[in-house]
Structure 1
Amino acid sequence: MKTLKCLTVASLVPLLWISTTQAQEKEQVTSTQKAELQRIEPCIEPLSGPNEIQRVDEIIPIDDCDGGGGGSTGPYVPPGTPSSITSPVYTNDNNYRVTWQPGYGGGYSVRNELYVQTNNGSWSKVYDGYGSSKYFTESAGKKIKRHRVRSCNSKGCSSYRYSNKMIVNYKPKPNLYSKYSFLSTLDQKNNTYQAGAQSFKTVLSRDTPAGQTSGTFSTTTNQDRFFLGDGYDLVRGALKETCLNVEHPDFEIVQNPPLQPSTFGIDYVNNNRHLAELLEVSASAKVGFTGDDFSLGLSGEKERYVKSVSDEQHVRFVVKVKNRREFWKLNTPTDAIYPQLVNQVLSPNDDEAKADFRERCGDNFISSANLGSALYLVFMFDAKKYSYEERESKKAELGLKIGDIFSANGAAGSSSSLKQTLDNLQVTINADQVGGPPGLAASITTANVMDKYNQFVQNTSESNWAAVDFATTNYQRPTVYNNFDHSEIFADYRGTQGILAQMRRWLDISVQHRERCDPWGDYGQSTPYQCGSSQAEIIIAMDTCRDTREWDNCKHPVTYNTGNISITVPGTNLLNWLNANVKKLNQESVSEYFDHHVHRGSIQVNDLTCLSASSCFANKHRGFGAGIGKGFNVQTFEYDNPKGSGRKHNISPQYCVRSEAYLKTGNPPFGDTTADWRYRVNFEGVCPETENFVIVQ
């Protein structure tokens, strides 16, 4: 009787290995030519960030772990220098991330060494492994950081790739729950209020209560909703906690028809300030363009603004429709604030008390809201490839076409001619919505914009309404403090030289900064280092306006000086430094006519058509013929070159068009005894020029 044996896949592997090896050995000439078989284990690297729990399946498999790999052959040379290393320009958070692109290892894995330098001191190794990023956790304080990385294998290490300098400016918020034990009781009252009150869907961001932990009551169960009476931080543009006495019998919410049921408009955008008005960006600090703003949370109004901000070479139209269906209003008692906050926090002329109240309650409270839906459409095309006359013509064409499609009451027809116009001008559409059919704005394209617009208007219903408008009201002084001014009780943001006014000025500078720094990449140029360093300084200036305890340092841009730890020069007037070092890219054109005539001879032509300065460069979005995509075109009036070589035109150096040819006549008496080349070069470029930033008065 035969015995049957079952072979598993695992048991077959050694047999297959042996069989394969034996076959290979038969093909070898001598035993010294045999390669030793090796099994190379994968390297494991964690992917978790700070405060994350490492999962078992989160691994990065690496080809080998021997510092060079490749079995007995190994790499022949050290790896190349890492191609990039990226860190934030600035952070006021307690953690940030550095990423890099490892150097090329020729097919073998590379080990990466990351170093950090603090306040221009010595370098310290902080990472040695096979990953391509690292999280850093920072203690409180203000410091300058710089990072460098190199890639290594068994043959050695590459040279370092250095990051730009960055500023870490972490300031922990005070723990108000530890300071005021009654806050948890107020949280319970707010939870009870919220359980029975009307909530309003919104795109506003909400700050985390200072010191609140997972063990305390969370007074906001849904981050995309607010309640009438919620506090509002005007400078940060964020919702705060409800600080009004919701149990008071005169605390009342009423509903009325909206005062203005619907509005519709089509507007040409003059500049980014005008864009902020059209997209209804509030006066608060939601329109800065810094990494820090994102850590605070983007409100919907800031997000739609950021998506549509551009340099002056873009043509933009805003189409906006609002449907208001309900109006809700809060009526408050004479003594509206919780008594505990009045008795234990508020205190006349106490700056610490003002800061604590503002951290908890904000500057104002939300007193009314319109419910309904709103749709914002920004039609935009890049005009860099057009002359000024062409740009104005195309702008008029787009404006007329949009006006033809949308009627005065906001109804929209369907037109294939609109799509043709949008396609011809390479128009893009940035769409954003408040309320209405969920997710509709994200699906809008130039091909379906009219259909989607009509769907939005027709499918808005009570089930998808949101707060399209809201209003805030100043906290009223408690009657016990009637003999004191508002500024003696509350942190005062008001006035033409107040905190909010200063913040507006800094925000406008931030917008202008982006307008100057972003276009460099559009022209294929490296962004100047001054853009990064000045961006960090602008954020620091804005941070002093965000933090109540630093309001003494929230200065008018004209008088603001950089601090002791600075990427620019400490103690420098920042506005003057920006004016001198952050250049504005302006269009420039030049036209040159050349006339070359040769009789019975030859000449080497080397003509230059140059922009005004060596810092200028060609506008690669322009050009025709030989200069297409290079910024120039050539008009030839006569070219007669019997025995010479052909013509060529190049950008050399970056601010000049070099036109070259070898002109030579024929041999007399039978050949052509003249050679001629008459032509004109029209060259369009961009020049970085010193221009003062405009200050909002």
Structure 2
Amino acid sequence: MKYIKFAALAALAPKMVFVASLSLQSAEVHSNEPCLEPLSTPELGQQNELIEPDPCDPGGGGGGGGGPYGPPSTPASITYPAYTNTDSIKVSWAASYGDGYPVSYELYESKNNGGWVNVYTGSFPSRVLNNKTEGKYRYRVLAKNSIFSSSYRYGNYSLINPRQKSNLYLKYPTTMSTLDSQNYQFRTVNSAAKTGLKREYPEGQSSSMNTPEGRFYLGNGFDVVRGSLKETCLDVNHPDFVITQTPASQASTFNISYVNDNRHLAQLLDVSSSAQIGFSSHDIDLGLSGEQERYVNSVSDETYVRYVVKIKNRRESWNLSTPVDAIHPLLVNNVLSPNDDEAKADFRERCGDNYLSGANIGSALYLVFKFSAKAYSYQERENKKAELSLAIGDVFQASGAADSSSSLTETLNRLNVEVRGEQIGGPPGVAAAIALNGSNVVDKYNQFVQDSNSSNWAAVDYSTNNYQRPTVYNAYAHNQIFADYTGNQGPLAQMRRWLDISVQHRERCDLYGGYNKNPPSQCHTSIGEISTAMDSCLNTREWGQCVHPHQYNTGSPTTTAQGTYLLGWLSTNVKKLNEDINTEDWDHHVYRTYLNVDDKTCLKNSQCFLNPYRGSGPGIGKGFHVFNYYYDNPRGGSRSYSTYAGYCARTQVHLDTADGFWGDTTADWEYSVTVEGLCPETEDFLVIP
């Protein structure tokens, strides 16, 4: 009987097992029978079954006695991109609690709603899965100890749509290897600077020839649509290929700006149109460029008030002069060919659309101050915005200096302001320290200004030049030689439109989380659809399918029905949360009787929800306000206030009059209720003209 009680105690409190087992052993409760192998082991399906402690099995962890008596915790989350255009995907999950016992994980994959297949077993809480073919994938994970398994944690669907890359090293082996060798020699004798631009390496290139990540050289190619660096395709050995360095003509700039919307934010953060990725898609998995990262980190919904403080110190100006025939002869002779779409695509794959011709070297710091205005009325929001503006302006001066100020700290704390820093060059770690601890912003800002020097400068501005036609092709138009990204209906213009739609998408879907609501499933579905539409603009050979959002219909692979007009589907299904207010007046009067009041003041429909950041009195933090005008209730009960069905305020009371000739023969409650909330409404996505 004592053994059974001990087993139950062990199941409830595993950390007590070791001490309890010692006391039982000293009382000689256990028999002296030899330890034998069990005839069978528990099935995995018996996940919640508890077993008696086995004195022959020390368990393998957690204090040394009896082994695990229950399953580890189910991983709290599982994450992976909703879309990727590569053939690999990274799946990550939250670590499970094993109460001191070793935990391993099993990751399963389902493709196109097929059966579940185990794709990983191990102790690490993430896995990169490679060589994936086109399809719709879903993942689930469970945790295990030596005996039990947790429940599964399931993720959403991911659309994997790998794009084929042309291997120029197989197509032009001598040309590519010769260019790599010359570029390698060029880099060994020329200066480079740090950059936040992402570099894309050609398919098949030897890693030994790669430029160090985070560095650029004047003459590097630049993909305008993707906003990424390509290889150098110029004749770097020509005597007229000259790089000059001079002091910067504009030494430094400083400004403080209120952010009107996310489009304006991109301008303030110096983010190019090709880098304005508004949601977490395949670019997160591949690695963001510096400008993408500082933009994505600061994008938010319209309920936030944001200011940007920016200081940019320019110390050197680098400029490139090139010969008339700037492109390397090997590319002119072996790759370029007039009116040949394949030749255009091959050249662009390696060289991009143009090349870096100049850069300002120095340092830049971007500070984004933001606070949520969900709890404020419009007038309150304007007042708080003015407070923050005044506090920031009192500290940061146009000279670039910053004065310590207790008033700024007090304002940041009172408004619950989040401060995020992003930097280009300058002393390492300053921006990260600000992001972790916004109260240190003034000290870290001054450290950045004082400690920026030539050892930590980076490229803060770029200029580019278009590739010029080789003289041998002077009889042809530019777009007959090179892939043309220009024009109001060209790939760059279309990409801007799709990226702007993606920003609007993020604004709408992220807002749900700001109110502790799960976004609708269409938010997840549509990420893959928008990304698929953008792929045609990213890949040169698909530019024929890079079309205006008004003309785009879903294709294959797809997460909605094929042939759907995507822009219309987005407007209808990814609804925008708009504020809704409703006030109702209530007047209850009874004479020599009673009345049970049960009033409900509601938003316009059941899809709405009360704003948990608003309200006053009994409705504070619940989204409603009650205004009592007259209340007289001689023998009744107490009034109660609550929410109902998530989108209504409920007011209840038992009104009852007094008995007898001399008593109060009336009971009254005259009042009004105002509810504030948000309602998902159909609203068209806006398209850049």
Moved more, 653-662 or 159-168: 159-168
Q: By how many angstroms is 1:679 displaced? A: 1.9
Matched, 1:519 2:511: yes
Corresponding position of 2:247:
257
Corresponding position of 1:488:
480
Q: By how many angstroms is 1:419 displaced? A: 1.7
Q: Distance in 2 between matches of 1:603 and 1:446?
A: 55
Are residues 173 and 41 of structure 1, via their aligned partners in 2, closer, same or farther at CA, if it must alter by over 3 Å? farther
Corresponding position of 2:571:
579
Q: By how many angstroms is 1:573 displaced? A: 1.1
Corresponding position of 2:229:
239
Structure 2 residue aligned with 1:210, among 203, 213, 219? 203
Query: What pairs with 1:183-582 in structure 2 (closer than 5 Å)?
Result: 183-214=176-207, 217-220=208-211, 222-444=212-434, 445-582=437-574
Counterpart contact for 1:144–1:167, Cα < 8 Å: yes
The one-letter code of the counterpart of 1:418 is L
Matched, 1:683 2:675: yes
Q: By how many angstroms is 1:662 displaced? A: 0.9
Q: Distance in 2 between matches of 1:568 and 1:516?
A: 19
Q: Distance in 2 between matches of 1:464 and 1:107?
A: 45
Q: Distance in 1 between matches of 2:162 and 2:127?
A: 15
Are residues 678 and 130 of structure 1, via their aligned partners in 2, closer, same or farther at CA, if it must alter by over 3 Å? farther
Q: Secondary structure at 2:475's aligned position in 1?
A: coil
Are residues 402 and 84 of structure 1, via their aligned partners in 2, closer, same or farther at CA, if it must alter by over 3 Å? closer
Corresponding position of 2:25:
24
Are residues 196 and 586 of structure 1, via their aligned partners in 2, closer, same or farther at CA, if it must alter by over 3 Å? same
Moved more, 82-91 or 391-400: 82-91
Post-superposition CA distance 1:133-164 (Å, at most 9, x none)? 57464546421123456789999998866432
Query: What pairs with 1:660-679 in structure 2 (closer than 5 Å)?
Result: 660-679=652-671
Q: By how many angstroms is 1:115 displaced? A: 4.5
Among all aligned residue pairs of Structure 1 and Structure 2, give the percentage whose two residues are the same amino acid: 55
Q: Secondary structure at 1:491's aligned position in 2?
A: coil
The one-letter code of the counterpart of 1:332 is T
Post-superposition CA distance 1:288-343 (Å, at most 9, x none)? 42321123322221111111111111111111122212211101101101111111
Corresponding position of 2:160:
168
Corresponding position of 1:640:
632
Q: Secondary structure at 1:518's aligned position in 2?
A: helix
Counterpart contact for 2:57–2:66, Cα < 8 Å: no
The one-letter code of the counterpart of 1:315 is V
The one-letter code of the counterpart of 1:226 is F
Q: Distance in 1 between matches of 2:534 and 2:137?
A: 20
Counterpart contact for 2:536–2:543, Cα < 8 Å: yes
Counterpart contact for 1:115–1:124, Cα < 8 Å: yes
Are residues 513 and 596 of structure 1, via their aligned partners in 2, closer, same or farther at CA, if it must alter by over 3 Å? same
Q: By how many angstroms is 1:281 displaced? A: 0.4
Q: By how many angstroms is 1:257 displaced? A: 3.4
Q: Distance in 1 between matches of 2:311 and 2:463?
A: 19
Instruction: Name the TM-score, length of structure 1 as normaliser.
Output: 0.86
Q: Distance in 2 between matches of 1:429 and 1:292?
A: 27
Are residues 433 and 115 of structure 1, via their aligned partners in 2, closer, same or farther at CA, if it must alter by over 3 Å? closer
Are residues 672 and 23 of structure 1, via their aligned partners in 2, closer, same or farther at CA, if it must alter by over 3 Å? closer
Q: Distance in 2 between matches of 1:265 and 1:25?
A: 76
The one-letter code of the counterpart of 1:96 is I
Counterpart contact for 2:103–2:123, Cα < 8 Å: no
Counterpart contact for 1:86–1:99, Cα < 8 Å: yes
Q: Distance in 1 between matches of 2:568 and 2:287?
A: 31
Counterpart contact for 1:200–1:227, Cα < 8 Å: yes
Q: Secondary structure at 1:558's aligned position in 2?
A: helix
Q: By how many angstroms is 1:192 displaced? A: 1.6
Post-superposition CA distance 1:78-109 (Å, at most 9, x none)? 99987654443112222224455799999999
Q: By how many angstroms is 1:583 displaced? A: 0.5
Q: Distance in 2 between matches of 1:432 and 1:266?
A: 15
Counterpart contact for 2:59–2:146, Cα < 8 Å: no
Instruction: Name the TM-score, length of structure 2 as normaliser.
Output: 0.87
Corresponding position of 1:13:
none
Q: Where do 5+ consecutive residues of structure 2 fail to align?
A: 1-17, 36-52
Q: Distance in 2 between matches of 1:643 and 1:392?
A: 46
Q: Secondary structure at 1:164's aligned position in 2?
A: strand
Query: What pairs with 1:116-131 in structure 2 (closer than 5 Å)?
Result: 116-120=109-113, 122-127=114-119
Q: By how many angstroms is 1:524 displaced? A: 1.2
Corresponding position of 1:37:
55
Q: Distance in 2 between matches of 1:358 and 1:180?
A: 14
Are residues 110 and 270 of structure 1, via their aligned partners in 2, closer, same or farther at CA, if it must alter by over 3 Å? closer
Are residues 136 and 465 of structure 1, via their aligned partners in 2, closer, same or farther at CA, if it must alter by over 3 Å? closer
Post-superposition CA distance 1:28-60 (Å, at most 9, x none)? 39889x986312565xxxxxxxxxxxxxxxxxx
Q: Distance in 1 between matches of 2:440 and 2:69?
A: 56
Post-superposition CA distance 1:341-384 (Å, at most 9, x none)? 11111111222211111111111100001112212111111100
Q: By how many angstroms is 1:510 displaced? A: 0.6
Q: Distance in 2 between matches of 1:21 and 1:550?
A: 72
Q: By how many angstroms is 1:224 displaced? A: 1.6
Are residues 574 and 31 of structure 1, via their aligned partners in 2, closer, same or farther at CA, if it must alter by over 3 Å? same
Are residues 644 and 80 of structure 1, via their aligned partners in 2, closer, same or farther at CA, if it must alter by over 3 Å? farther
Corresponding position of 1:92:
85
Counterpart contact for 1:260–1:324, Cα < 8 Å: yes
Are residues 133 and 571 of structure 1, via their aligned partners in 2, closer, same or farther at CA, if it must alter by over 3 Å? farther
Are residues 204 and 660 of structure 1, via their aligned partners in 2, closer, same or farther at CA, if it must alter by over 3 Å? same
Moved more, 576-585 or 557-566: 557-566
Moved more, 379-388 or 282-291: 282-291
Q: Secondary structure at 2:337's aligned position in 1?
A: coil
Counterpart contact for 1:375–1:433, Cα < 8 Å: yes
Matched, 1:142 2:142: no
Q: Distance in 1 between matches of 2:592 and 2:128?
A: 75
Q: Distance in 2 between matches of 1:41 and 1:154?
A: 8
Counterpart contact for 2:618–2:626, Cα < 8 Å: yes
Q: Distance in 2 between matches of 1:542 and 1:357?
A: 21
Are residues 351 and 682 of structure 1, via their aligned partners in 2, closer, same or farther at CA, if it must alter by over 3 Å? same
The one-letter code of the counterpart of 1:419 is T
Are residues 463 and 74 of structure 1, via their aligned partners in 2, closer, same or farther at CA, if it must alter by over 3 Å? closer
Are residues 21 and 148 of structure 1, via their aligned partners in 2, closer, same or farther at CA, if it must alter by over 3 Å? closer
Q: Distance in 1 between matches of 2:440 and 2:93?
A: 40
Q: Distance in 1 between matches of 2:210 and 2:193?
A: 15
Q: Distance in 1 between matches of 2:484 and 2:573?
A: 34
Corresponding position of 2:615:
623
Q: Distance in 1 between matches of 2:285 and 2:267?
A: 24
Q: Secondary structure at 1:667's aligned position in 2?
A: coil
Q: Distance in 2 between matches of 1:407 and 1:627?
A: 43
The one-letter code of the counterpart of 1:39 is D
Counterpart contact for 1:165–1:567, Cα < 8 Å: no
The one-letter code of the counterpart of 1:28 is V
Counterpart contact for 1:198–1:227, Cα < 8 Å: yes
